[in-house]
Amino acid sequence: DTEVTQTPKHLVMGMTNKKSLKCEQHMGHRAMYWYKQKAKKPPELMFVYSYEKLSINESVPSRFSPECPNSSLLNLHLHALQPEDSALYLCASSQGAQSLRPIYFGEGSWLTVV
Amino acid sequence: QKEVEQNSGPLSVPEGAIASLNCTYSDRGSQSFFWYRQYSGKSPELIMSIYSNGDKEDGRFTAQLNKASQYVSLLIRDSQPSDSATYLCAVIFSGTYKYIFGTGTRLKVLA
């Protein structure tokens, strides 16, 4: 069983909608991540939270807004997305943002923007 | 030179053979190396971590690290059709602690 859980598994939204992706980790980790993955490409880093503070924003458009309510929870708020934003969104966690240990992915949320 | 390079494949091997997947990286100071398996339509799953030169074995999987030559490899013994997936190499770069993925190698194990 994965210890990083993401909801929903699938989301279809219109370009004017507001929706959120949610992630919870049960590993006691202090760093959480959002990645975006397009078909046949590796995961692409979007945001990193370390000890509940945003530490890295990889120049992501403001239509994506992350939130970290506590060390176990991570949200990604979506607003006014474009069809090209359709992708697999992966939440991940690790012991620390500057740890040499691996990151662990959740099962992902498939997003389709219509 | 790309930061982490993998042959995209597909690498086709017959069932029962050894599959050999390779990865090279550009940062000589890197200390942490990982292999992920990703089935089509699923998320990446960590299968091996390696931090020291040499071999690390886990079941049918063996990771090999050579820091002097800046490459890391993954051997899958007795390959099964269920091993058919994309294998992603990841490296933590020194200084920045950035987690850099290769583009992945698609493995097909033929029954």
The verdict on a CB contact (< 8 Å) between B43 and A107 is yes
* Percent of chain A at pLDDT exceeding 70: 98
pLDDT at A13 over 70: yes
pLDDT single digits (tens) A47-84? 999 999 999 999 999 999 999 999 999 999 999 999 99
Q: CA-CA distance, B21 to A9, in Å (whole number)?
A: 31
Residues A80 and A63: beta-carbon distance below 8 Å = yes
Whether residue B88 lies within 8 A of chain A, CB to CB, comes out as yes
Choose from B37, B43, B96 for mutation: most chain A CBs within 10 A.
Answer: B43
Burial A60-98 (b: 16+ CB within 10 A, else e): beeebebebeebbbbbbebeebeeebbbbbbbbbbbebe
The verdict on a CB contact (< 8 Å) between A41 and B43 is no
Show residues of chain B in contact with A108, CB under 8 Å: 42-43
CB within 8 A of B96, min separation 6: which ones? none
* Confidence bin at B1 (pLDDT 50/70/90): low
The mean pLDDT of B93-108, rounded to a whole number, is: 93
The mean pLDDT of B33-60, rounded to a whole number, is: 97
Residues A46 and A36: beta-carbon distance below 8 Å = yes
Q: Residue A33: closest CA among chain B residues belongs to which residue?
A: B99
pLDDT at A1 over 70: no
The mean pLDDT of A72-98, rounded to a whole number, is: 96
* Percent of chain B at pLDDT exceeding 90: 93
* Confidence bin at B96 (pLDDT 50/70/90): confident
Residues B111 and B15: beta-carbon distance below 8 Å = yes
Q: What is the mean pLDDT of chain A?
A: 95
pLDDT at A2 over 70: no
